Structure 1
Amino acid sequence: MVGEGNSTAVQEFTLEGFPAVQHLGKVLFLLHLLAYLASVTGNSLIITIIWADRRLHTPMYFFLSIFSFGECGFITTVIPKLLTIFLSGRQTISFAACFTQAFAFIFLGASGVFLMGVMSLDRYLAICKPLHYPTIMNIRMCVLLVTACFSLGFLLTVIPVLKLSQLSFCGPNVIPHFFCDVGPLARLSCPENPTTERLAYNIASSLLFISFLMTVIAYSNIVVTILRLPSAYERQRAFSTCSSHLVVLSLMYGSCIFIYVKPKRRSRLDTNREAALVNTVVTPLLNPVIYTLRNKQVHQALRDALSRVKLHK
């Protein structure tokens, strides 16, 4: 990832973390460890249930399982290092590891945003075009859409990270964040390079805008279609299939827009840190809870799986 033309003098960076609460390191370590384990377990449980129960072998749950898999990777790029900072106070990260973390974080985050847009499209087709849905959203199309999400995520990530890695870093080397992100890294280059940060900002803004626009158009049509249904039961049933998705979308778009779309200033870095913590810890933890608590099919599949386990005992 680091270009040959890079003449950096910095061999490692120091992640500032959360200095105001570092004295609570062991307590914060325990809280974040529990949140991390709960998030990985919850998302892994969703993946297992979906792939084990044939009733959930539909495009909606296929996309959900891929999204849950991506969420596990997304939080794993950041949380283990944060746990190390809280427990041992070891805040250094090597040059190569820092850029690898930045690439993995943005790549998985961007791919997740595209996946949420695809899930909105899937709900639109299922509710607004029910007769054509099985023909359009076949397994080949599902795999193609997932491949496109990760390919676009890779292409949009590799450009700013590769460009950033080719800059010079001669000090200071303290990143005012708890993980390596493009914005804080760009401010440490010698000389400071606003072009790279602006490029990352423009890419993030465009990505979120396209995904958000796709979601708004899809759900506008969904709402119109649902309101036209003759019975209250049909309307409730149709809306229940996308209510969980809407809640997760709100959490994701809210935190991402706050972090990446609003104009950045140095004085706002602390606020960005807190919002990023929500995006990397809270949201991935809530996603499996939202999808399991608000989804009757997942409920039933989980009950059936528990019943089979009890029978085997």
Structure 2
Amino acid sequence: MVFSVFSAALAFVNTSETSSVTHFILFGFPGCQEMQIFLFSLFFGVCIFTIMGNGTIACAVKWYQRIHTPMYTPPGNFTFLEIWYITVSVSGMLVNFLSETKTISFAACFLQFYFFTYTTEVYFLCIMVYDQYLAICCPLHYPTVMTPRLCYISMSLCWVFEFLSYSVSTVQLSQLPFHGPNVINHFMCDMDPLMALSCAPAPIIEIIFYTLNSLIIILTLLYILGSYTLLLIAVLKVPSAASQKKAFSTCGSHLTMVCLFFGALLAMYASPTSDNPAAFQKIMTLF
């Protein structure tokens, strides 16, 4: 229902404004037909592997009764979001590998941009590190603080806040005049390629978008780093080496994911990348 309403709004914007472009062409990764088939096979295998891995985690969280606890609610939402990202971005890229036209409609392009710029993951990571902080630093208070009700409310607020964060900027971007050319030198619709195709400069929209992204990314990153600093101080005070090892192993996978995820986000969205070559933007987005 939300997808239909948002798509209809974008379609109305396109017909009500002066834009003559009704579709875009995603240039993607250039190469001969054999190269396109090879890339399709490669990314299709990675896509299936990723969906199966995240699907397995989601099914385990759903059906395994022993882990129906607040600790596993954020990872369950996280896996659903990862499957969402794959569906939004990689599925279209796979179709374009085998397509001769490589077209995407005006409304579908901005819908893809809107849902791919979701940063709900950073909020999930914050909730997960808060959960770890309570479990390690305040184990006696954990059952009374991290209740299922608090966890479900936090997850709901993450989804609602993220849905509202980028809706205005996406609609504003779609209101810019697009009269051609309509070739996007990317495998998906992203901010910089769309801004480059606009017939009128819109520095205010670009500044708002990158400022919002920078604030969300930097503030959440500072919160996570601050929480891990307190965690590290608390763990180092534990006299037992076995307990320290257990605490570090609990946080290790989460900290690795934080480094990889925020590293890519800072490279893509913390500052405008219009001066970077298109190949760099494609690689970072793919990463």
Q: 1:187 aligns with which of 196, 201, 222?
A: 196
Separation in 1 of the partners of 2:20 and 2:120? 33
Helix, strand or coil for the counterpart of 1:14? strand
Q: How big is the shift at 1:71?
A: 0.6
Q: Deviations over 1:112-171 (max 9, x none)?
A: 121111111111111111111111110110011101111121121112101111221111
1:6/1:165 contact within 8 Å kept: no
2:181/2:197 contact within 8 Å kept: yes
- Alignment of structure 1 residues 1-313 onto 2, 5 Å: 1-2=9-10, 3=13, 5-19=16-30, 24-107=35-118, 110-278=119-287
Q: Deviations over 1:222-246 (max 9, x none)?
A: 1111101110000011111111111
Helix, strand or coil for the counterpart of 2:117? helix
2:110/2:174 contact within 8 Å kept: yes
2:210/2:271 contact within 8 Å kept: no
Judge which range, 186-195 or 243-252, deviates more. Answer: 186-195
Residue of structure 1 equivalent to 2:3? none
Separation in 2 of the partners of 1:219 and 1:5? 50
Helix, strand or coil for the counterpart of 1:78? helix
Separation in 1 of the partners of 2:46 and 2:101? 21
TM-score, scaled relative to structure 2: 0.91
Helix, strand or coil for the counterpart of 1:9? coil
1:186/1:196 contact within 8 Å kept: no
Q: Provide the alpha-carbon RMSD of the alignment.
A: 1.6
Judge which range, 182-191 or 203-212, deviates more. Answer: 182-191
Separation in 2 of the partners of 1:20 and 1:208? 35
Q: Give 1:6's aligned amino acid.
A: E
Separation in 1 of the partners of 2:50 and 2:32? 23
1:84/1:90 contact within 8 Å kept: no
Q: Give 2:205's aligned amino acid.
A: T
Residue of structure 2 equivalent to 1:307? none
Separation in 2 of the partners of 1:263 and 1:209? 15
Helix, strand or coil for the counterpart of 1:85? helix
2:58/2:80 contact within 8 Å kept: yes
1:5/1:166 contact within 8 Å kept: no
Q: Per the alignment, do residues 92 and 45 of structure 1 end up closer, same or farther by CA in structure 2, a change over 3 Å counting? A: same
Residue of structure 2 equivalent to 1:290? none
Q: Give 2:236's aligned amino acid.
A: L
Q: Per the alignment, do residues 21 and 114 of structure 1 end up closer, same or farther by CA in structure 2, a change over 3 Å counting? A: farther
Q: Give 2:28's aligned amino acid.
A: G
Residue of structure 2 equivalent to 1:294? none
Separation in 1 of the partners of 2:32 and 2:224? 38
Structure 1 regions of 5+ residues with no counterpart? 279-313
Following TM superposition, the consecutive aligned residue runs of length 4 or more in structure 1 with deviations greater than 3 angstroms are 20-23
- Seq. identity, %: 36
Q: Deviations over 1:274-303 (max 9, x none)?
A: 01111xxxxxxxxxxxxxxxxxxxxxxxxx
Separation in 1 of the partners of 2:33 and 2:251? 40
Separation in 2 of the partners of 1:265 and 1:73? 27
Separation in 2 of the partners of 1:217 and 1:21? 49
Q: Per the alignment, do residues 270 and 135 of structure 1 end up closer, same or farther by CA in structure 2, a change over 3 Å counting? A: same
